[in-house]
Structure 1
Amino acid sequence: MNARNIWLMISVGLGIMLNPLNSSMISIAIARLQHVYQLDVTTVSWIIFSFYIASAVAQPVMGKCSDLFGRRKIFLIGLVVVFVSSMLAPLSPGFSWLIVFRIVQSVGTSMMVAVGMAIVRIHVTEKQAAALSVLAMFLSGAAAVGPFIGGVLIHWWDWPSIFLVNIPFVIASFIFAWKTIPKEESFKSTSGDMSIRKWLLLIDAPGILLFTVALVTLLISLLSVKSTGHLSTWHLMVGGIGLIALATFIRHELKTPSPFIPLRAFATYPEMTWVNVQFMLVNTLFYALFFGIPSYLQQVRHLNEIHTGIIMLTLGLCSLISSPLAGRWIDKSGTRLALILSAVLMTFGSVLIITLNEASPMFSVILALAVFGISNGLNSVGMQAALFKSTPKEMIGVSSGIFNTSRYLGTILSSLLIGIIMGDTFSVMGIHLLGVILTLFSTSLIIMNLRPQRSSGTQAL
């Protein structure tokens, strides 16, 4: 691999790592933001919701935009968006403005994730598998060390530092990307002849709007009921708007020629549907632990941010180490055994969470994080392999988009679960209830993976 390709991978890697880095650092900041803005867990959870809702919408949209306007241009614009949002977020006059800048940051990081892999796949023609695995390490590594970095930054420089830390990565990535990513002249003619109306239809702007409205209003309705403790007319109105938007979205997606989420594919390929359901459930489990344990350690065990970040490092490192080992195992034995073992490990970890209290040995927490980390490594490889096996080659692009949407829906559901269970503050009773629910979810995953599997016009899982 020549020097130009190495620098190309570094420029792309520094850019795409900003999405998992910023989504993981925030887990350590939840307790601090609660204290600073005097808010309950449910309200502060919107700092998580907003990032993942924006990512779920922005990544497939930006993927389509890159086909129209060029991947290099979208990548560079994404870096500028992250730079501006990271500079302005610490100046937020209130929590609402912080949410706005968090959404802008999510859109910017999504622009880079959506096109980063494609840039390397197109422009690095030698040792592509090695190149793509390096980018995967950037993504996994950033998620692994995010809580630790967040803990150190917040302890010494308070919460604004988790936004400002992006600046050197953005500048370095922009300089390298400007010099190493080739220009794509051919995109000009493609996008130049397209009207705004045709472009909006191509990306399915009505579907995106309906999806966003449905998701946000339903979340607001559910969380508001939990916050106030009673069901009011306003809650029913907001929930009704969400249900109407959801029904309209489903009807629209079934009719439009270029759907944001191709729902008909789920009926045509049932095994692909099962993979996405499991992936959404897996991410609900993983991120409920990912966001729940830091608050337990800080609010119930009274650990500071640095100690919390060090303990959370167990989760990411175990995931990072187990991923390549899982890849070798799955290549030899298939996905079924790996996914069953993953579900068993998550069940064991969930049971450990039920046993936690104010005086539990820290080894129990670390063990729960370790088994969930190993499980996540198995799932990150196994679910992707299962997706490829259950999807026809001509649909792999569409199914990958659905797969990413399932990931973000799982993370959103995990935050919703924590907000509903914990309410105003974390408690031992709340962490026990979370453990019970996660045990039920993980047990259902074991059952799903033990069920007889059918072929749907493609290779069975």
Structure 2
Amino acid sequence: MAKTRKQLLQLLQQKPDKRSDSFDRKLITPMIVGSVLNPVNSSIIAVSLVPIGTAFGVGLSSTTWLVSGLYLATALGQPVIGKLVDVYGPRRLYLAGAIFTGIAGLLGALAPSFWVLIVARVILGFGTCVGYPSAMYLIRSEARRTGHESPAGVLTTLAVSAQTIAVIGPPLGGVLISLGGWRTTFALNILLALACLYYGFRRLPSTTPLREVPIDNSESHLDYPGMLLFAVMLVSFLYFLMNPQISQLLLLVITVLSAIGFGWRELHCAAPFLDLRVFGGNRPLLITYIRNALAMTVGYAFLYGFSQWLQDGRGLNAAATGVILLPLSLVAIGVSSITGRRKEIRIKLLAAAIAQIIFCLLLLVLSSASPLWLLVVVIAIAGIPQGLASLANQNAVYYQADPTRMGASAGLLRTFTYLGALLASAANSLFLQRTADTAGLHRLAVFMLLISALFALLTVVDRSLGKVGVPNPDPTEKHVETVEQQ
């Protein structure tokens, strides 16, 4: 009897295991720290290009490769890492990515030449592309573990943190450059890598793959030929876009041939690098990827082109440029925070498209004598699509993708993000060849206006957006019937 009383008292004193049926909140910090590595390095370089070019005596057409190098590595690495996360879980890959990020930060901070700096950015691209697919994987795996859908606020927090860091990057870069020069923007990665290692070791679980079926040997192998063809296709096309001349038509031929070879390889490979067959059966997901690429093309073209124009065309220094871009951060954060928990994907995307068209039109009236208040208005309007588009597209992918391929699907979303960034980089190189003057800014604005119109059109005609977020009692199943025969 005494023993029974003692056991009963112990049971009453035990705290309930909240993790058994709720999202494990200790995962949020490593998820956020890992997923912001890429956005901060994508945006902080915007105010560093001019100082770096001056330091090494190279022009804008060369410094653009600091942007493109990271994006090429990220576009190639995201789906590879996403697939590996699906197969092996995120912990080991997350820690390896942190190590690569730290090495790249140290290499960039000590780079003796411009080409070493490009190598550092490429390594940085591979190192920083781990965090986002790992985070999306953890969100889905928590839904599977608890039997309940992960809180909407977790997805919103992930998106808002990435957006916030992306738009805070230029002001942060301006401050760092004013304090210690452009090399401090690379050294920042050493601290971020140490934070990832700390939280990765302490908080990330050794998770099992989301797939219920055993993974065969072919599925765990990497599609190296597919990856190579994909890289050749991207690099050759980017080279042509940066210097579109008749003498460079051979690059277009290489692009087309590698694209054909890539398509054939992926359709006939047992474990393809990019599963084109999945795209064929999930048209809404493919449209979301394309729409995301268009939105990011405009966003990154504005971020880099306008930042360079503020320095070359308007005569501001890097620190002042970073400060004047602050409204972009504030508006994006505010818009994301207010709309993050709302499920109306189509409305968010339409509002983003309208805002893009408006600020592109305003860019056409700017000149070197434009008042500061007008510049601030343009920047503030540009913050609206920054806060809406990537959040809406991320949520769409979460519901449209196969849950067992969440890591790869999230990686592909970032791949299309940086395909847009690569196109933006090429556009900046084309329209702002020697210096970022007002005439070049206007040409860039026309390009962005055309892309914005295409983004709006693709949003209007996509009827599947009305079904995104429809509740499903089983969180391990798709939340939207994306394989409808529309």
What TM-score range do you get, normalising by the shorter chain? 0.7 to 0.9
Matched, 1:88 2:111: no
Provide closer, same or farther for how the CA distance between residues 267 and 44 of structure 1 changes in structure 2, counting only shifts above 3 A: same
3-state DSSP of counterpart to 1:45: helix
C-alpha contact 1:11 1:174 (8 A) present in aligned 2: no
Cα distance in 2 for partners of 1:139, 1:340 equals 21
Provide closer, same or farther for how the CA distance between residues 186 and 460 of structure 1 changes in structure 2, counting only shifts above 3 A: closer
Of residues 73, 86, 109, the one that matches 2:92 is 73
Superposed counterparts of 1:14-53, under 5 Å: 14-53=33-72
User: Which 5+ residue runs of structure 1 have no aligned equivalent?
Assistant: none
1:277 maps to which residue?
290
Mean CA deviation greater in 318-327 or 346-355: 318-327
What's the CA shift for 1:411?
A: 0.9
2:202 maps to which residue?
179
What's the CA shift for 1:243?
A: 2.5
Matched, 1:240 2:259: no
Aligned residues: 445
Superposed counterparts of 1:128-143, under 5 Å: 128-129=150-151, 130-143=153-166
Deviations 1:78-99 (A, max 9, x none): 1111111111112222211111
Provide closer, same or farther for how the CA distance between residues 38 and 420 of structure 1 changes in structure 2, counting only shifts above 3 A: same
Of residues 315, 318, 322, the one that matches 1:302 is 315
Of residues 377, 401, 413, the one that matches 1:367 is 377
Give the fraction of aligned pairs with identical amino acids, expressed as a percent: 28
Structure number with higher helix proportion: 1
Mean CA deviation greater in 423-432 or 5-14: 5-14
C-alpha contact 2:329 2:383 (8 A) present in aligned 1: yes
Matched, 1:426 2:436: yes
C-alpha contact 2:363 2:378 (8 A) present in aligned 1: yes
**Aligned partner letter, 1:350:** C
Deviations 1:408-455 (A, max 9, x none): 111111111111111111111001111122222222333333347479
C-alpha contact 1:151 1:305 (8 A) present in aligned 2: yes
Provide closer, same or farther for how the CA distance between residues 179 and 210 of structure 1 changes in structure 2, counting only shifts above 3 A: same
Matched, 1:315 2:328: yes
Superposed counterparts of 1:366-385, under 5 Å: 366-385=376-395
Cα distance in 2 for partners of 1:27, 1:252 equals 37
Cα distance in 2 for partners of 1:143, 1:155 equals 19
2:338 maps to which residue?
325
What's the CA shift for 1:113?
A: 2.7
User: Which 5+ residue runs of structure 2 have no aligned equivalent?
Assistant: 1-17, 468-480
Mean CA deviation greater in 62-71 or 248-257: 62-71
Q: Could you say which structure has the larger radius of gyration?
A: 2
Deviations 1:223-264 (A, max 9, x none): 2x35xxx543xx344443332212211221222232222223
C-alpha contact 1:155 1:304 (8 A) present in aligned 2: no
1:259 maps to which residue?
272
Cα distance in 2 for partners of 1:85, 1:393 equals 33
How big is the alpha-carbon RMSD for the aligned residues of Structure 1 and Structure 2? 3.2
3-state DSSP of counterpart to 2:182: coil
Of residues 206, 212, 215, the one that matches 2:231 is 212
Of residues 335, 344, 364, the one that matches 1:354 is 364
3-state DSSP of counterpart to 2:340: helix
C-alpha contact 2:81 2:408 (8 A) present in aligned 1: no
Cα distance in 2 for partners of 1:262, 1:18 equals 27
**Aligned partner letter, 2:289:** N
TM-score (norm 2): 0.82
Cα distance in 1 for partners of 2:388, 2:254 equals 39
Cα distance in 2 for partners of 1:99, 1:288 equals 20
C-alpha contact 1:151 1:308 (8 A) present in aligned 2: yes
C-alpha contact 2:98 2:127 (8 A) present in aligned 1: yes
Cα distance in 2 for partners of 1:372, 1:381 equals 15
**Aligned partner letter, 1:306:** A
Provide closer, same or farther for how the CA distance between residues 452 and 321 of structure 1 changes in structure 2, counting only shifts above 3 A: closer
